[in-house]
Structure formats: C-alpha cells, structure tokens
C-alpha cells in the first residue's frame, strides 16, 4: 500500500540516487569546485591572469577560479588570511619575501607533483630551484627576469652621450651620470635615482665581487667593507650631482610609477628587465635596456636569472592536486603562455617561450631580447632569499640609504649599520 | 506607620532576574558584540602578548619577555613613542584652540550659520579618508600648492615637506588640526548652554569682551573642553590611516612618521611577530589609560561643574 508519506520519502530517495549517479564516473574535480587565486599587479596583469583562468575553466568543466587582486595592502591581506585559516588556494609571491612565507609553513610542498602533474621536461634546466626553500619545493617560479639598466634613448641622443654597455665600469658610469645631469640642465632632474636603496642593485654589485646578498647559510653574503663601498659610491655620486636629491629619492616606494625615471626626475633607472613594459607605458620617449655597470672590464657581469614571481599553494588548499594542475597549465600550456605574454617576465617553458616570441610587440621584444642577449654572461641562480629578508626589505635597506642621503650618517656607518641590522634579523 | 519602612517581602533572585530579562534581551546585540567581538579578542591578545607567535606556528609561551624587550631593547619602539607623543602634544592643543575659536565666532549669530557650520565640519567627515591623505601628499609635495604659494609670496623655495624627515610629521599634525569639526560642533553646543544674562550682567558692569571670554565663557566651558581633550587625546594616540597612507605603510622617511599603531602593524603583518605586536598593543592601552586617568585626576582642579 502506498500512502502519501511513503510516496514522498521514496521519491526523495530516488531523486537523490539519480543525482549521485550522474556524478559518479566523473573525475573528482568535475564537481563544482571553487579555487581562489590571489595576486597583485597592474590591471593588465589581471586581464592576462584571468584569461588563463578562463582557459583552465574551459578545459576543466565544473572548476571555477575566483581571482582576487591585491594592491598596496597585498602582503598584510595575505598574512591576515593565512593566519586566519582562510588563505586563497594559490597566491603570488616575490623572491624577496618567498622564504618568509615558505619557511613558515604557509605553503604546501609540491615535490610529489613535480615531474608528474607539473611537467618539467620542457623547462629551463634547474629553474625549479627558484621555488625551493631548505630543499623543499614550496612553489614554482612563473617567469624569469634579470637586472637591467633602463634609459631614456632620447635623453642620450640629445646629450650626445653613449649608453653604458658591457665594458662600462662603475667609475665610468659615475662620470657619465655627472655629465648627463649637466647636459639635461633642468632643475630637479638628474641622470639616475639614488640606487643605494635598492637591495637588488646592491646584489648585482656584490655578485661582481664574488659575493652574494644572501648566502646559502641564510645569512648575509657580504661584509661591512662591501656595504661601505656601495654606500660610498652612491654618496659621492649624490654629492657630485650625478643622482637625485634625498628628498626626491625618499618618495620612491620602489615601484615602477614612483621611480625617479617615471616621475620625471631622472633619465635612467636600475630595475628588472620585465619592468620595461611598465616603464615604457609611462614614457613617451623610447626606453632602452642595457646591462649594469661592472666592477672591472671583463669581470663578472653581476647578472643572473631571477624568478619573476612565484606561485605557492596554500597548505590549507582543499584540492592540492587541482591547484598543482593549475600551476602546470599556467607554466606549460601554450595558449596560457600566449595569454600571459611577457607581462610577468620571460616564460620558463622553452616551447611556450618560442610560441610567445613571434607575438611580441616591439617593447616586449626588447625585454625578451635582453634576456637572450645576456645568456653568455649570466651567473648561477642565487641561493634562496632567507626568512627575515622581508623585514630587511621593508625597513632596513631604505632607511639606511635615506639616513645616508639626508646626511645623518657616513657611508662607513651605513655599511656597519646594514651588517649589524641584517645579522640581528637573520640571526 | 512610616512610608520609609523596609518592604516585608523581597522577591527571590530568579524572579528579580526574570523581571529584567526583557532588558537584557534588548541589550543582547550589544552584549554579544562586547563578548564575542571585543572582550574575546582582547583576552586572546593579552595571552598572545606573552607568547612568541609567528603566523603559522602555534604560540610559544615566553612570559614577560616581549614586555621586557619593549622596555629595554627596542630602538624602534622609542622612535615610535617619540613620533606619537610629538603628534599628540601638538595636534590635540592646536585642534582644541582652532575648534574653540571657530565655535566662538560662529556663535556670534552670523547669517548663514548652518552653512558655515557644515563647511567647517566637512573636513572631519572626509578627513580620515584615504583620498584626503593622498591629496595631502600632493599639497605638501616639493612642487605642491604650499611650496608654490611660498615661492610666489615669499620667493622662498620650500622643502619637500613629506619627503623630508624633519618636516614630515608636521604635515600630519596639520592634517589632524584641519579636522577640528566634530570638536567645534561640541563646543558650539556648549556655548549655547551658557545663559546670556551672565554676559548682559557682565557688560553692564563694564567687562570687556576679552574679559567676558576669560571669566565667563572659558570657565563655564571647562567640562566641554575636558571632554574634547580626553576624546582627542585618545584618538590621536590611535591615529593610523594618515601616516599609513602618506608614508605608504613604511613610517618613513627614516621612521619620522612611524606612529605607534603603524609600528605595531608592521611588527604583526610584515615581520610576523604577532606576539610582540600584541604586547605593543597592551602597552598602548596602558599609555592611553594612564593619560585618561591623569586627565580625570587633574579635572577637579580646573573643570567647573555647575552644580
């Protein structure tokens, strides 16, 4: 006998069963899955990143990628979410802060996926080293780039000066800057920003001397003499009018749009090769790209390939394999690579690189060619930046250089102070 | 029989509570907020302040170590105290003076008083916003309005106020003083409370305007001044947004705008020392409590209550 209540109960059971049946037989990720992806950067980057997310969604029905873009508050937001246990599944990192997150267990080890889910056969040799901390792969590099000297080609033409090349020493460069500033002959415009503040410029300077910014042991790879030489160089360049005043430099937040080159206070900048696109977007004059000055002619260039940025998978990610599959897609899929272009730097997959090359516009091609052109003078990948480096970035390098620029301390005091503070923080 | 006699019957506790139940019911949104959102986190931060806690790892008990380090071995704490006290000691009195002066002017029965009041109040509404801090950065830049005026009027080439470590803090004081509106509104309300016959009597006796101000207005206004001073002091100690926006979170140049709250924030969110940051927070609580207590203790010497 069938009463109303039984009928309803059976009906419900039947419905549930058929719903289950329709799902079984499909891979696990085919259930509606959301995956959160968090990065920072320009609107152009957002557009390209979301295009990749869309391609991935199309290849994986049922998966939805929720993109979130951070601004100036990116790091505090990320930290808050990690501490609160609601971290995005995949998030973007930069080499200078990478170990601060990886070394504290924020990211899931990816070693088991490397070579299988995340294919590495077509990648640059050893490039995955750029995602390793203490021997564990905590994330993957998204691209490579290198230090470069950016210059306003029109300024050099009208001054009748030759841009630096592989044979330009730091001393030649100082003379060039002084001459350039004189040639420009405008109030509040100099040849270049005061690069004493930039840890990456110091890093190139140190590599040329056979030292490192950070050693394999997680401590600094230089001594007070090296640092004093560095600060002394910029101090005397500032005093002889070759680089910007303290007040101009203090406003640089170490971003493309706040660099003196972009604010119209300088005609050169020490930056990363992939930033050419960003710098060029803010300039009418064509921006050229060349190597950094060297310690001595024929000596080490101080250049090496660095990770542009990295992606890490949160240790709390619900579906690590899906996240790993996304990383693989992001790095190895040709169409994804075409969507990304050079915005984050040069692709690490050689096939993707070849596919991207013919599609580059003239500005991107300059950045790409630069990376190619330094292949013969690039050194080894650097040791991983240690835990605590973020704090040095955040408050030590800039503060010491500003104290020096405002005349509060001497180069020797600055050098000693950098070594002392770095030792205190890195232990 | 006396009406004052104690009642013969006292309701048992549960019955009396039952009578108040409706009251607690109405209070519950606030009570829940207090316990879940304020007291809970406060207690856990007190615990964290005695731990070494860096984001992912679980907190490790270190007792009073964090407090000892704050007191004995933290140059940035001293820098932050220096900046914060400069800010409080300059911005609070200046803001009080501005607010009171404008309130007295507006109280003269100007035409269009409501308009003026709204205009002067406007900065307080928008002043805490990020947009204004960004605007402020433009105004005080090396080629900003301030320097253009200095150049045009005095032929003086001003510094880049925000980029110079010697002047950066004063631009933040100016930003704070500019937002005198809410104190001004409270002063205006206070001025309306003063009976006009006092001024009439005083002017018949030949007291000058200035004398009237110092002998009538100011003394009768002391409760309002006291209130404003306490509120402004607490707010100034807690100031965060302007320094964060203007220095881009760095407290620079050379820590010259490193407000206490900014330092606390950096310790937690860029240096991952949540335990130490919690200790810093409690030190700030103690400082604010100390200042407020001092204000209340001093009140009986200078605040006149009309009763």
Q: How far apart are CA B270 and CA B260, in angstroms?
A: 15
Please tell me whether residues B41 and B138 are part of one structural domain. no
Q: In a mutagenesis test of the A interface, which of B270, B273, B277 is the best target, namely the one with the most A β-carbons within 10 Å?
A: B270
Does residue B2 lie within any of the structural domains?
Answer: no
Verify whether the Cβ–Cβ distance B254 to A75 is below 8 Å.
no
pLDDT in tens, B258-300: 889 999 988 888 888 888 999 999 999 999 999 999 989 988 8
Please tell me whether residues B28 and B152 are part of one structural domain. no
Find the CATH number of the domain harbouring B220.
Answer: 1.10.3720.10
pLDDT in tens, B137-190: 777 776 777 777 777 788 777 677 777 788 888 888 888 888 888 888 888 888
pLDDT in tens, B13-65: 777 777 788 888 888 888 888 888 888 888 988 998 888 887 667 788 888 88
- Chain B residues closer than 8 Å to A76 by CB: 265, 269-270
Does residue B114 lie within any of the structural domains?
Answer: yes
pLDDT of residue B1: 45
Please tell me whether residues B36 and B101 are part of one structural domain. no
Please tell me whether residues B205 and B261 are part of one structural domain. yes
Q: Is the pLDDT reported for residue B307 higher than 70?
A: no
Does residue B23 lie within any of the structural domains?
Answer: yes
The residue in chain A having the minimum alpha-carbon distance to the alpha carbon of residue B166 is: A406
In the predicted model, what is the mean pLDDT of chain A?
Answer: 86
Strand locations in A135-184 (E): 136-137, 139-141, 144-145, 147-152
Q: What angle do CA A386, A89, A53 make, to 5 degrees?
A: 110
- Residue ranges of chain A with per-residue pLDDT less than 50: 1-30
Phi, psi of A106 (to 5 degrees): -75, -25
3-state helix, strand, coil in chain A (%, to 5): 50, 15, 35
Does residue B247 lie within any of the structural domains?
Answer: yes
The residue in chain B having the minimum alpha-carbon distance to the alpha carbon of residue A104 is: B56
- Chain B residues closer than 8 Å to A251 by CB: 141, 160, 162-163
Please tell me whether residues B43 and B175 are part of one structural domain. no
Q: Which residues contact B93 (CB under 8 A, 6 or more apart)?
A: none
The residue in chain B having the minimum alpha-carbon distance to the alpha carbon of residue A248 is: B163
Q: In a mutagenesis test of the B interface, which of A77, A395, A422 is the best target, namely the one with the most B β-carbons within 10 Å?
A: A395
Please tell me whether residues B39 and B164 are part of one structural domain. no
Per DSSP, the residues of A337-370 read HHHHTTTTSB-SBHHHHHHHGGG--HHHHHHHHH
Number of domains in chain B: 2
Please tell me whether residues B105 and B209 are part of one structural domain. yes
Verify whether the Cβ–Cβ distance A106 to B55 is below 8 Å.
yes
Verify whether the Cβ–Cβ distance B163 to A106 is below 8 Å.
no
Three-state secondary-structure class, residue A167:
coil
Does residue B4 lie within any of the structural domains?
Answer: no
Please tell me whether residues B144 and B256 are part of one structural domain. yes
This prediction's pTM: 0.78
**CB neighbours (10 Å) of residue B245?**
18
Does residue B8 lie within any of the structural domains?
Answer: no
Query: Cα distance from B94 to chain A (closest Cα, Å)?
Result: 28
The residue in chain A having the minimum alpha-carbon distance to the alpha carbon of residue B263 is: A395
Is the distance from CB of A108 to CB of A315 less than 8 angstroms? yes
Query: Cα distance from A216 to chain B (closest Cα, Å)?
Result: 22
Query: Cα distance from A247 to chain B (closest Cα, Å)?
Result: 5
CA atoms within 13 A on the CB side of B189: 10
The residue in chain B having the minimum alpha-carbon distance to the alpha carbon of residue A78 is: B269
Q: How far apart are CA B265 and CA A83, in angstroms?
A: 14
- Chain B residues closer than 8 Å to A424 by CB: none
Verify whether the Cβ–Cβ distance B163 to A399 is below 8 Å.
no
Q: Write the residue in B56, B164, B250 that is nearest to A247 by C-beta.
A: B164
What Cα–Cα distance (Å) separates residue B188 from each residue in B93, B100, B127? 17, 8, 20
Q: How far apart are CA B274 and CA B59, in angstroms?
A: 9
Verify whether the Cβ–Cβ distance B165 to A82 is below 8 Å.
no
Does residue B20 lie within any of the structural domains?
Answer: yes
Please tell me whether residues B99 and B25 are part of one structural domain. no
Q: Is the pLDDT reported for residue B102 higher than 70?
A: yes
pLDDT of residue A419: 95
Please tell me whether residues B298 and B204 are part of one structural domain. yes
Verify whether the Cβ–Cβ distance A80 to B54 is below 8 Å.
no
Task: Select from B300, B297, B304, B298 the least CA-distant residue to B221.
Answer: B304
Residue B209 belongs to what domain range? 65-302
Please tell me whether residues B24 and B105 are part of one structural domain. no
**CB neighbours (10 Å) of residue A39?**
22
Query: Cα distance from B251 to chain A (closest Cα, Å)?
Result: 9
Does residue B293 lie within any of the structural domains?
Answer: yes
Q: How far apart are CA B131 and CA B245, in angstroms?
A: 9
Task: Select from A347, A414, A368 the least CA-distant residue to A148.
Answer: A368
pLDDT in tens, A280-335: 888 899 999 999 999 999 889 999 998 889 999 998 888 999 999 999 999 999 99
Please tell me whether residues B250 and B162 are part of one structural domain. yes
- Chain B residues closer than 8 Å to A406 by CB: 164-165, 253-254
The residue in chain A having the minimum alpha-carbon distance to the alpha carbon of residue B160 is: A247
Q: How far apart are CA A72 and CA B248, in angstroms?
A: 8
Can you read off the two tokens belonging to residue B20?
């108040």
pLDDT in tens, B53-97: 876 677 888 888 889 888 888 888 998 999 999 999 999 999 999
């Amino acid at each position: 006998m069938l009463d109303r209540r039984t009928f309803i109960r059976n009906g419900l059971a039947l419905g549930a069963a058929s719903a289950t049946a329709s799902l079984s037989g499909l891979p696990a990720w085919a259930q509606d899955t959301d995956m959160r992806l968090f990065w920072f950067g320009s609107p152009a980057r957002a557009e390209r990143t979301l295009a990749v997310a869309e391609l991935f969604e199309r290849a994986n029905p049922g998966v939805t990628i929720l993109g979130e873009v951070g601004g100036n508050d990116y790091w505090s937001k990320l930290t808050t979410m990690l501490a609160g246990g609601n971290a995005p599944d995949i998030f973007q990192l930069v080499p200078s802060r990478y170990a601060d997150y990886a070394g504290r267990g924020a990211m899931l080890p990816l070693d088991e996926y490397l070579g299988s889910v995340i294919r590495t056969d077509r990648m640059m040799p050893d490039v995955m080293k750029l995602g390793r901390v203490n021997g564990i792969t905590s994330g993957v590099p998204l691209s490579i780039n290198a230090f470069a000297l950016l210059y306003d080609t029109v300024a050099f033409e009208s001054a009748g000066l030759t841009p630096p090349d592989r044979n330009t020493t730091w001393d030649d460069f100082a003379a060039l800057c002084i001459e350039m500033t004189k040639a420009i002959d405008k109030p509040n415009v100099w040849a270049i920003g005061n690069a004493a503040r930039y840890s990456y410029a110091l890093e190139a300077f140190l590599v040329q001397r056979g030292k490192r910014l950070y050693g394999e042991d997680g401590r600094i790879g230089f001594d007070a003499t090296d640092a004093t030489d560095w600060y002394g160089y910029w101090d005397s360049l500032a005093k002889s009018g070759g680089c910007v005043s303290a007040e101009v430099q203090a406003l640089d937040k170490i971003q493309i749009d706040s660099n003196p080159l972009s604010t119209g206070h300088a005609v050169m900048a020490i930056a990363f090769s992939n930033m050419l696109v960003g710098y060029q977007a803010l300039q009418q004059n064509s921006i050229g790209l060349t190597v950094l000055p060297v310690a001595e002619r024929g000596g080490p260039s101080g250049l090496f390939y660095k990770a542009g940025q990295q992606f890490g998978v949160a240790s709390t990610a619900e579906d690590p394999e899906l996240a790993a599959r996304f990383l693989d897609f992001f790095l190895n899929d040709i169409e994804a690579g075409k969507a990304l272009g050079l915005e984050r730097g040069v692709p690490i997959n050689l096939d993707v690189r070849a596919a991207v090359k013919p599609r580059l516009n003239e500005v991107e091609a300059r950045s790409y060619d630069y990376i190619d052109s330094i292949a013969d003078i690039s050194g080894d990948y650097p040791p991983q930046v240690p835990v605590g480096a973020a704090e040095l970035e955040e408050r030590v390098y800039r503060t010491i250089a500003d104290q020096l620029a405002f005349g509060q301390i001497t180069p020797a005091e600055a050098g000693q102070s950098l070594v002392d503070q770095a030792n205190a923080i890195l232990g | 029989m006396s009406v004052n006699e104690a009642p013969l019957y006292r309701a048992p506790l549960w019955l009396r509570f039952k009578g108040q139940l409706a009251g607690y019911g109405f209070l519950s949104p606030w009570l829940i907020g207090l316990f879940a959102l304020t007291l809970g986190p406060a207690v856990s931060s007190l615990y964290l302040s005695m731990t070494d806690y860096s984001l992912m790892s679980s907190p490790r008990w270190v007792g009073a170590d964090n407090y000892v380090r704050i007191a004995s071995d933290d140059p940035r704490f001293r820098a932050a105290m220096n900046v914060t006290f400069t800010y409080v000691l300059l911005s609070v009195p200046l803001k009080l003076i501005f607010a009171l002066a404008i309130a007295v002017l507006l109280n003269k029965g100007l035409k269009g008083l409501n308009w003026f009041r709204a205009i002067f109040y406007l900065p307080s509404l928008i002043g805490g916003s990020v947009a204004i801090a960004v605007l402020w950065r433009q105004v005080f830049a090396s080629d900003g309005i301030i320097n253009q005026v200095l150049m045009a009027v005095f032929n003086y080439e001003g510094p880049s106020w925000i980029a110079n470590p010697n002047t950066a803090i004063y631009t933040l004081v100016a930003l704070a003083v500019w937002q005198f509106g809410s104190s001004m509104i409270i002063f205006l309300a206070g001025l309306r409370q003063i009976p006009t016959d006092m001024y009439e009597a005083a002017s018949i006796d030949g007291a000058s305007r200035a004398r009237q101000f110092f002998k009538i207005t100011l003394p009768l206004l002391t409760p309002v001044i006291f209130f404003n001073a306490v509120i402004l002091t607490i707010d100034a100690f807690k100031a965060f947004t302007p320094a964060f926006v203007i220095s881009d979170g760095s407290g620079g140049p050379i820590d010259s705008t490193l407000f206490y709250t900014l330092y606390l924030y950096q310790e937690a969110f860029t240096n991952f020392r949540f335990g130490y940051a919690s200790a810093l927070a409690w030190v700030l609580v103690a400082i604010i409590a100390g200042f407020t207590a001092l204000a209340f203790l001093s009140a009986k010497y200078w605040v006149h209550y009309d009763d």
